[in-house]
Amino acid sequence: MLKQKLADVFNEPGCEKNQAKSDKDRKKGCTVKGLTPGAAAGGCAFDGAKIALQPVVDAAHIVHGPIACEGNAWDNRHAASSGPELYRMGFTTDMSELDVIYGGEKKLWKAIKEVIAKYDPPAIFVYQTCVPALIGDDVIKVCATAAEKFGKPVIPVNAPGFAGSKNLGNKLAGETLLDYVIGTEEPDDARPTDINLIGEYNLVGELWQITPLFDELGIRIRAGITGDARYHDVACSHRAAVNMLLCGQAMMNVARKMEERWGIPYFEGSFYGIEDTSASLRTIARLCVQQGADADLIERTEALIAREEARCWERIRSFTPRLQGKKVLLYTGGHKSWSVISALQEMGMEVVKSSVRKATDSDKSKALELMDGDAEALVGAIPNPEMYRMLRAGEADIMLSGGRTQFVALKARTAWLDINQERNYAYAGYDGMVELVRQMDKAVNNPVWQRVRRPAPWDADFTGFDA
Amino acid sequence: MTIYPPANVLVQKKACSVNPLKSSAPLGAAMAFMGMDRCQPLFHGSQGCTAFGLVLLVRHFKEAIPFQTTAMNEITTILGGIDNVEQALVNVAKRAKPALIGICSTGLTETRGEDVAPELRLIRQRNPELQNTAVVYASTPDYVGGMQEGWAKAVSAIIEAFVPARNQAAPLTPIRGQVNILAGVHLTAGDLEELREITDAFGLEAIILPDLSGSLDGHVPDTYCGTSYGGTSLEDVACMGASVATLAFGEHMRKPAEDLEAKTGVPSRLVLNATGIEGCDRLMVMLSEISGRPIPPRFRRQRSQLVDAMLDAHFHFGGKTVVMAAEPDLLLAYSTLFNDLGAVIPLAVSTVSTPSLQRVPAATVQIGDLEDLELGAKEHHADLLVTHSHGRQASARTGIPLYRVGFPQFDRLGSAHRATLGYRASRDIVFEVGNLFIEAMPNHLLRHGHDEHGDHSVHHEGACGCPGTLEASHGCSHSASC
């Protein structure tokens, strides 16, 4: 069962990367190299599945497994809800040694029953994990029986950790939605300006940086898949007019299969950076009109874009006096890093190095153009010791990177800002870009750096106290 | 103080744990390994086992956490993961050059029943790259116990691997004044700093195992380091057999202490609790006996400060209803202190049934989760919740303030430095919690100058021991009502 699913998601025809592979490589899955023991980082498939589904905020999410899978991880993400809080509660069968010996199906059944009795959620997602998968607990069967008996959706999420990486878990979560949720209910208010945002999880509430724009244009989010989602909305999401696919290829399967099954056109877009935000809004408007929305939507969208872009650039420029001349080390995957570079340069900041580890060729050439052809400034992976050396030596005033290198910067006593793209970027839309700049100002201009970099009185390079 | 009979420990009857209190055993083991110098903890499991634990530790300590994984997948799990262990060891040794790699197993690898320990010798023989890196293996299935149990297993594994057994023919000459301290998971980096100061003051030289105060005390090293930086060195561990005594902190350190004593003959003593006046007194007497020195004046002063803190704070603690949730030994520490001051604990929740729980002064001890805590708080109209940061949801829903203790504390700074051990730390806890109670008092009581008293029904005359006519030197500030 899981094997078929894996073959299916590895075969995703909508994924460019996948289609570029040989048949042999495709079978190996998305992480072609495989995970290297002793040199792997990141979450497992279960982690990825949970990330992708937990933002269904009114559902209960039960983890079937020993304590580590939920006990070490519950309520640890920043997917925000505008209402229900049930998704933040941790539910787990907390399997004991006896459960491992005798099997955990009965305990899971009882757990589902208890959760329904106490919390009565509109739906329950049940996550399979490694240990019960290994001992052969049939989560799919237990869920099917429970759904029938209790008369509500009980959805098995078959993505045990050992199946693969976090990214794979995202994909399997998408398959789960396609198999059990999307299209299972009918809305009574479908409009040609209804859209779904696929692969958007409303991390740190970034969705709400975009919704005012949609509201103004009369565009309605039918469902976030799954950011700030209600179960009912996801179940009805097949009646949306347009699908926007965010965050790269992880949920490509959902977008493509929804097009296949319900004829919903989709496009890949991003609300990260000014150019991408505008482009995404334009595409949404165009596709909505194509799906029957009033043609004036396009004009209204253009007017909004012109106004917001001007306002955004003006606000960014207002930071110039505080940020001009500051040196930035930009350490992201490199995907779309050029759009950050252009904003930084607008304020007169100097990008000393930008990593292009995972960048596409077009990303690279755009970045290179912005960097005046300085190929040496575009780098691959920087090993931590070298990164530490650069920052300690003051080669940059601030590093923008993901959480993994946070302490390299801080221990080198250098300003740091989290702009992790793997978690779908926390600074969305026009306001988000201004917010990013504001945060950067706050970080790099904090007087703390002068204080913590000063040698101690007993150090050889101590030069005396302030006058 | 309520004298309770041995606690009534209720087992968990629910199938679904709601809002878990427990973190996993491998995480406890890996955290213990972080207390070893230049160590790289390695989880033998799927990469998620590592990632979840790593993220939680980063959020708690706000430090880089160098955990690695053997990255098991379905096939390697079924066929056996020794190759993955070998690759991981070689890769880690090459890249991070640690002095020690501490392996902890997980539910995944234990379900198959993989026996890694005997293979390690062969792996070392095959890979000369490992000659400068020691390796230790702790068996810590996720489905047995919580952090406390995993931590203890790691300490036992370190003792088993690196403490030389006593040579009957030529026993080591004990080093005068050297003591072993087996630190439990309930002790913070701040506690261990305190403990070292205390033992120093008695003229004792302590080998602390494991020593988080060397590695996860939030300091800024001079160079980049890809392993733990600081902690117990293997050289120190090798010397433990020459100590005159071993002090083991927490019931869960009993087994490691027995292991150490059996191996070295060094007599061990168990410090069940070093929080609150009774526990601190016992610790002082113990150290005085071991060192042959009187209790230094500074601790007599600190004890006096604690007594005074208790006098000032008992107004606020007296009659308060507190529900708590923590691993057994931490629960014992806090519940004892609260009970000493007159707080009533109708319900304490813990993770596993251990002898420590018998001593917890609570009407009921439930093996359970934070849902049990929340329901108990509502049922008993609690004034305060005491548990780790995950109690924040229960606190928000019930409106009852939360006092954060233990692990994890991801929404607070400086958790590693918050101490529970000794007179000073006990005094500070008394003040912190007392202030929470004061803050929760209704305004009309504060306005009338009653803020010195926790309970408005207390008569002021005599209640604080001050006479009706008050002199400034008495130090009582509620002169309006006295």
Tens of pLDDT, residue by residue over A263-321, are: 999 999 989 889 889 999 999 999 999 999 999 999 999 999 999 999 999 999 999 99
- pLDDT level of residue B6 (50, 70, 90 thresholds): confident
CB contact under 8 A, A68 and B52: yes
- Pairwise pLDDT comparison (B478 vs A209), residue with the higher score: A209
Q: Does pLDDT of A18 surpass 80?
A: no
CATH code at position A324: 3.40.50.12380
pLDDT at A248: 64
Does the N-terminal peptide bond of residue B442 adopt cis geometry, omega within 30 degrees of 0? no
- pLDDT level of residue B473 (50, 70, 90 thresholds): very low
Instruction: Verify that A44 and A172 share a domain, yes or no.
Output: yes
Of A62, A110, A130, the CB nearest to B107: A130
CB contact under 8 A, A39 and B142: no
CB contact under 8 A, A40 and B112: no
Instruction: Verify that A368 and A264 share a domain, yes or no.
Output: no
pLDDT at A343: 82
Q: For B336-344, what is the mean pLDDT?
A: 97
pLDDT at B459: 41
User: Is A210 a member of any domain?
Assistant: yes
The minimum CA-CA distance between A209 and chain B, rounded to whole Å, is: 24
pLDDT at A119: 97
Separation between Cα atoms, residue A135 and residue B88, nearest integer Å: 26
The minimum CA-CA distance between A57 and chain B, rounded to whole Å, is: 15
Q: For A86-113, what is the mean pLDDT?
A: 97
Q: For A208-229, what is the mean pLDDT?
A: 96
DSSP state of B303: H
Of B48, B59, B91, the CB nearest to A36: B91
> Does residue A328 contact residue A396 with C-beta atoms inside 8 Å?
yes
CATH code at position A132: 3.40.50.1980
CB contact under 8 A, A134 and B48: no
Residue B446 makes CB contacts below 8 A (sequence gap 6+) with: B438
Task: Report the number of secondary-structure helices (H) and strands (E) in chain B.
Answer: 19, 15
| Cα dist from A460 to A55, A465, B3, whole Å | 53, 14, 59
Instruction: Verify that A371 and A287 share a domain, yes or no.
Output: no
User: Is A209 a member of any domain?
Assistant: yes
Tens of pLDDT, residue by residue over B380-397, are: 999 999 999 999 999 999
CB contact under 8 A, A90 and B18: yes
Tens of pLDDT, residue by residue over B99-144, are: 999 999 999 999 988 889 899 999 999 999 999 999 999 999 999 9
Tens of pLDDT, residue by residue over A328-355, are: 999 976 666 777 888 888 889 999 999 8
| One-letter amino acid for residue A228 of the chain | D
The minimum CA-CA distance between B315 and chain A, rounded to whole Å, is: 36
Q: For B400-408, what is the mean pLDDT?
A: 97
Q: Does pLDDT of A261 surpass 80?
A: yes
Query: Domain B8-17+302-439 is in which class?
Result: alpha beta
Q: Does pLDDT of A40 surpass 70?
A: yes
List the Cα angle B89/B94/B100 in 5-degree steps: 55
Mutation site for B-interface testing, chosen from A72, A112, A170 by largest number of B Cβ within 10 Å: A72
Using an 8 Å CB-CB cutoff, list chain B residues near A68. Answer: 23-24, 26-27, 49, 52-53, 106-107, 142
CB contact under 8 A, A90 and B23: no
pLDDT at A339: 74
**Minimal-distance CA residue of chain A relative to B218:** A411
CA dihedral B216, B219, B222, B224 (to 10 degrees): 40
Instruction: Verify that A228 and A123 share a domain, yes or no.
Output: no
Q: Per DSSP, what are the bridge partners of residue B364?
A: B8, B347
pLDDT at B474: 39
CB contact under 8 A, B23 and A72: yes
B178-300: same fold as B8-17+302-439?
yes
Using an 8 Å CB-CB cutoff, list chain B residues near A65. Answer: 107, 142
Using an 8 Å CB-CB cutoff, list chain A residues near B69. Answer: 35, 37-38, 40
Counted domains in chain A: 4
| Cα dist from A17 to A370, B385, B412, whole Å | 26, 51, 42
Residue B231 makes CB contacts below 8 A (sequence gap 6+) with: B34, B35, B36, B37, B38, B39, B210, B211, B212, B214, B215
Number of CB pairs, chain A paired with chain B, less than 8 A apart: 211
Mutation site for A-interface testing, chosen from B70, B74, B217, B349 by largest number of A Cβ within 10 Å: B74
CB contact under 8 A, B72 and A162: yes
**Minimal-distance CA residue of chain B relative to A3:** B74
Tens of pLDDT, residue by residue over B422-441, are: 999 999 999 999 999 999 98
Mutation site for A-interface testing, chosen from B14, B18, B87 by largest number of A Cβ within 10 Å: B18
CB contact under 8 A, A161 and B106: no
User: Is A419 a member of any domain?
Assistant: yes
Sheet holding B134-138, edge to edge: B68-69, B39-44, B100-105, B134-138
pLDDT at B278: 97
Q: Does pLDDT of B446 surpass 90?
A: no
Q: Does pLDDT of A106 surpass 60?
A: yes
Separation between Cα atoms, residue B148 and residue A278, nearest integer Å: 53
Using an 8 Å CB-CB cutoff, list chain A residues near B59. Answer: 76
Of A93, A110, A162, the CB nearest to B46: A162
Separation between Cα atoms, residue B66 and residue B225, nearest integer Å: 9
- pLDDT level of residue A155 (50, 70, 90 thresholds): very high
CB contact under 8 A, B70 and A89: no
pLDDT at A213: 97
Query: A77-81, B119-123, B238-242: which range is least confident on average?
Result: A77-81
- pLDDT level of residue B481 (50, 70, 90 thresholds): very low
Structure tokens at A356: 């292009």
Question: Which of A315, A342, A357 is a domain's end point?
Answer: A315
Output the average pLDDT for chain A: 91
Q: Does pLDDT of A460 surpass 60?
A: yes
**Minimal-distance CA residue of chain A relative to B57:** A72
User: Is A187 a member of any domain?
Assistant: no
Q: 């004036």: which residue's tokens?
A: A296
The whole domain housing A10 covers 1-33
Of B27, B46, B221, the CB nearest to A161: B46
User: Is A347 a member of any domain?
Assistant: yes
Q: 């009646």: which residue's tokens?
A: A239
Mutation site for A-interface testing, chosen from B142, B390, B392 by largest number of A Cβ within 10 Å: B142
Burial of A182 (0-12, 13-18, 19+ CB in 10 A): buried
The pTM of this model reads 0.92
| One-letter amino acid for residue A251 of the chain | M
Tens of pLDDT, residue by residue over B150-206, are: 999 999 999 999 999 998 888 888 999 999 999 999 999 999 999 999 999 999 999
Query: Domain B178-300 is in which class?
Result: alpha beta
**Computed over its alpha carbons, how large is the radius of gyration of chain B?**
24
Q: For B466-475, what is the mean pLDDT?
A: 38
CB contact under 8 A, A37 and B71: yes
CB contact under 8 A, A38 and B22: no
Using an 8 Å CB-CB cutoff, list chain B residues near A86. Answer: none
User: Is A238 a member of any domain?
Assistant: yes
CB contact under 8 A, B46 and A43: no
Instruction: Verify that A57 and A173 share a domain, yes or no.
Output: yes
Using an 8 Å CB-CB cutoff, list chain A residues near B388. Answer: none
Helix (H) or strand (E) holding B41: strand B39-44
Using an 8 Å CB-CB cutoff, list chain A residues near B107. Answer: 65-66, 68, 95, 100, 130-131
Domains in chain B: boundaries: 8-17+302-439, 25-144, 178-300
Question: Which of A284, A315, A346 is a domain's end point?
Answer: A315
CB contact under 8 A, B68 and A39: yes
The minimum CA-CA distance between B122 and chain A, rounded to whole Å, is: 18
pLDDT at B145: 96
Separation between Cα atoms, residue A452 and residue A204, nearest integer Å: 29
CB contact under 8 A, B16 and A111: yes
- pLDDT level of residue B478 (50, 70, 90 thresholds): very low
CB contact under 8 A, A161 and B15: no
- Pairwise pLDDT comparison (A78 vs B51), residue with the higher score: B51
- What's domain B25-144's architecture? 3-Layer(aba) Sandwich (3.40)
CB contact under 8 A, B15 and A111: yes
**Computed over its alpha carbons, how large is the radius of gyration of chain A?**
24
State the CB neighbour count (10 A cutoff) for residue B15: 19
List the Cα angle A307/A313/A317 in 5-degree steps: 145
Tens of pLDDT, residue by residue over A168-177, are: 999 999 999 9
Mutation site for B-interface testing, chosen from A92, A130, A154, A420 by largest number of B Cβ within 10 Å: A130
Using an 8 Å CB-CB cutoff, list chain B residues near A43. Answer: 47-48, 51-52
pLDDT at A25: 66
CB contact under 8 A, A413 and B224: no
- pLDDT level of residue B255 (50, 70, 90 thresholds): very high
CB contact under 8 A, A161 and B95: no
Using an 8 Å CB-CB cutoff, list chain B residues near A38. Answer: 42, 68-71, 87-92, 95
Structure tokens at B423: 């007179």
3-class DSSP assignment, residue B97:
coil
Using an 8 Å CB-CB cutoff, list chain A residues near B85. Answer: 37
Is the ipTM of this structure higher than 0.90?
yes
- Pairwise pLDDT comparison (A365 vs A239), residue with the higher score: A239
- pLDDT level of residue A90 (50, 70, 90 thresholds): very high
Q: For A402-411, what is the mean pLDDT?
A: 90
User: Is A354 a member of any domain?
Assistant: yes
User: Is A464 a member of any domain?
Assistant: no
Query: A3-12, A202-211, A387-396, B436-445: which range is least confident on average?
Result: A3-12
Q: Does pLDDT of B295 surpass 70?
A: yes
